C-alpha cells in the first residue's frame, strides 16, 4: 500500500488495500445559497472558524459528486445542519432529494431543539434518512436540551447513526466537550453516535466515551493532517487505543469534503502515516462504515475515473 500524494493517486491507494472503494461518513452538501454563506464565513476566518481556511473545492454539486466518484468514494453523506429554528425540515427535504437522485449519496437529515422537532425527525426517518447530523458548536445548543430527549430516544430505537460535532474545535462553547454529550449517553446508552473530528481537541475524553458505550464511534475528519495538527495535535500516546477502536468498528473515515484547505488525498496519507497497519486502514476506509450502514461492495468495482 502506497499513501497517495495527490487526488489522482487515491484510487491506487484503496486498490492497494484490496478495497472496493472508500466510504466517507463526513461529506457536506448544502443548498447553494447556504453553501456560499458557509464558504464566505471560512474565507473571512469568521468567529466560528477562528483561523485562515482557504477552501479549494468550491465547485458545483455536480462537479463535487464527479470528483468523489473519480476518487473512488463509493458511499458518502450529504451532511447539513440547522443553526437556528425553522431550518431543519427544509434542509431535510433538500438533502433527501439530493440523495434520491445521486447514486452513492447516503440519505441524511438534521434537527434542532424547537417545536415540531419530533414530527419532522420522524418524517425524515420515514423518508429513508440513514444518517443525521448535529453541530453543537455552530448551533450553540445543548445536546441534552429537553426538546431533544424524545428525538434521541427515537433515533436510539431506530439504530440510525448521528454524526455529532461535539468537540470544542476550532472554537468551542459551553455546549461542546465530552461531558456535555455524556449527559445524553447516560440517558440513551444505545444511541448510535459518530463523534466528528475524533472529538478534537478533547480527543481523550471522546476516546473514553467510544470505549465505554457500545454504539459510539469516532470519525477521522481532518485529524492528523498538517493543517489540523497545527491547531489540535492528537496525543500520540493514545494511538494504540485508536487502533484498537478502529479494529472493532469504531473509527470511520471522514474528510469534511468539500470544506478542505488541502487536497482530499492528504487525509488518507495522514492516516497511512500513522502506521497502524493495513487491517486498520481497511476497516477505517471502508469496512466499518459498510458494516454500520449495510453497504454492499461491488464484486468487481469499476475503475475510478481519471482526475
CATH numbers and ranges of domains, the chain:
7-293 (3.20.20.140)
Whether 61 has a pLDDT exceeding 70, the answer reads yes
Range list of β-strands (E), the chain: 22-24, 73-76, 108-110, 131-135, 162-165, 193-195, 216-219, 251-252
User: Cell digits for 73?
Assistant: 468514494
What average pLDDT score do residues 15-39 get?
Answer: 96
pLDDT, mean over the chain? 95
Percentage of the residues of the chain whose pLDDT score is greater than 90: 90
Helix (H, G, I), strand (E, B) or coil at 272: helix
Residue pointed to by grid coordinates 440513551 = 188
User: Cell digits for 26?
Assistant: 463526513
171 exposure class (CB count in 10 Å sphere: 0-12, 13-18, 19+): middle
Whether 10 has a pLDDT exceeding 60, the answer reads yes
DSSP 237: G
Whether 297 has a pLDDT exceeding 70, the answer reads no
What average pLDDT score do residues 299-304 get?
Answer: 49
* Number of neighbouring beta carbons within 10 Å of residue 58: 15
By C-alpha distance, which of 164, 160, 161 is closest to 181? 164
| Prediction pTM value | 0.95
Whether 72 has a pLDDT exceeding 80, the answer reads yes
What average pLDDT score do residues 145-165 get?
Answer: 98
Amino acid at each position: 500500500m502506497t499513501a497517495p500524494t495527490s487526488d489522482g493517486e487515491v484510487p491506487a491507494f484503496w486498490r492497494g488495500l484490496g478495497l472496493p472503494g472508500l466510504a466517507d461518513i463526513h461529506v457536506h452538501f448544502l443548498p447553494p445559497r447556504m453553501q456560499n454563506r458557509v464558504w464566505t464565513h471560512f474565507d473571512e476566518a469568521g468567529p466560528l472558524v477562528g483561523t485562515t481556511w482557504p477552501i479549494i473545492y468550491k465547485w458545483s454539486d455536480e462537479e463535487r459528486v464527479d470528483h468523489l466518484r473519480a476518487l473512488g468514494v463509493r458511499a458518502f453523506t450529504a451532511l447539513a445542519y440547522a443553526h437556528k429554528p425553522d431550518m431543519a425540515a427544509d434542509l431535510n427535504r433538500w438533502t433527501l432529494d439530493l440523495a434520491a437522485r445521486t447514486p452513492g449519496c447516503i440519505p441524511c437529515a438534521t434537527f434542532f431543539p424547537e417545536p415540531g422537532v419530533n414530527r419532522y425527525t420522524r418524517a425524515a426517518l420515514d423518508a429513508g434518512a440513514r444518517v443525521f447530523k448535529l453541530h453543537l458548536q455552530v448551533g450553540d445548543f445543548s445536546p441534552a436540551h429537553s426538546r431533544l430527549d424524545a428525538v434521541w430516544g427515537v433515533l436510539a430505537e431506530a439504530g440510525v447513526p448521528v454524526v455529532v460535532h461535539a468537540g470544542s474545535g476550532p472554537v468551542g462553547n459551553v455546549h461542546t466537550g465530552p461531558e456535555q454529550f455524556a449527559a445524553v449517553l447516560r440517558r440513551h446508552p444505545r444511541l448510535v453516535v459518530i463523534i466528528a473530528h475524533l472529538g478534537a481537541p478533547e480527543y481523550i475524553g471522546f476516546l473514553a466515551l467510544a470505549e465505554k458505550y457500545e454504539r459510539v464511534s469516532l470519525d477521522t475528519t481532518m485529524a492528523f493532517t498538517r493543517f489540523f495538527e497545527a491547531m489540535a495535535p492528537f496525543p500520540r500516546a493514545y494511538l494504540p487505543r485508536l487502533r484498537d477502536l478502529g479494529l472493532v468498528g469504531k473509527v470511520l473515515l471522514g474528510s469534511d469534503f468539500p470544506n478542505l484547505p488541502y487536497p482530499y488525498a492528504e487525509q488518507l496519507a495522514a492516516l497511512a502515516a500513522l502506521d497502524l497497519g493495513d487491517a486498520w486502514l481497511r476497516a477505517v476506509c471502508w469496512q466499518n462504515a459498510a458494516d454500520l450502514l449495510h453497504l454492499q461492495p461491488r464484486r468487481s468495482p469499476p475503475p475510478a475515473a481519471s482526475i
